[in-house]
Amino acid sequence: MATALKLTLALVLIGSLLLAYLAPPPARAVDLRVRGAMVAIGLLCYGIAALALVSGSVVAGVLALTVASELVCAAGWLGRGDSPGTDEDEGGGGGGGGGRGPKPPPLDWDWDAFEASFRRYARDRDRQPI
């Protein structure tokens, strides 16, 4: 096997591992059955790679190992879409139910209407004595 091909495959595998563990999780959760199928096919490819390497077919074994590793990395990254959000304060206290938090307001927010409403509120609210 050529050295350039070995280096390319190594870079692809290292890049996949880094993306699977360090990239932000996907925006939507992927069904467990899809991820399970990806892992099962990956494990099957690991078995095929072992048989190919034992029989002396290096190129087929390396390709099967690459496919298996990519599938397992992708399934791991897709599995991160289910994980609940973390607390930003890291204080360890405080309840709350994790989750992803509220949706951001739409981009076409009417700031003039908001300011007018806020001024009305500030003017008409009940003021508490100090």
Task: Read off the pLDDT of residues 90-120 as tens digits, 9 standing for 90 and up.
Answer: 555 555 555 666 776 667 778 888 889 888 8
With contact defined as beta carbons under 8 Å apart, do 85 and 100 qualify? yes
| pLDDT at residue 64, as a whole number | 93
What 3 state SS string does 86-129 have? CCCCCCCCCCCCCCCCCCCCCCCCCHHHHHHHHHHHHHHCCCCC
Measured between alpha carbons, how far is 20 from 73 in angstroms, rounded to an integer?
6
- Give pLDDT tens digits for 52-69: 999 999 889 989 999 999
Mean pLDDT of the chain: 82
C-alpha span between 45 and 51 (Å, rounded) = 10
pLDDT at 85 over 50: yes
pLDDT confidence tier of residue 41, bands split at 50, 70 and 90: very high
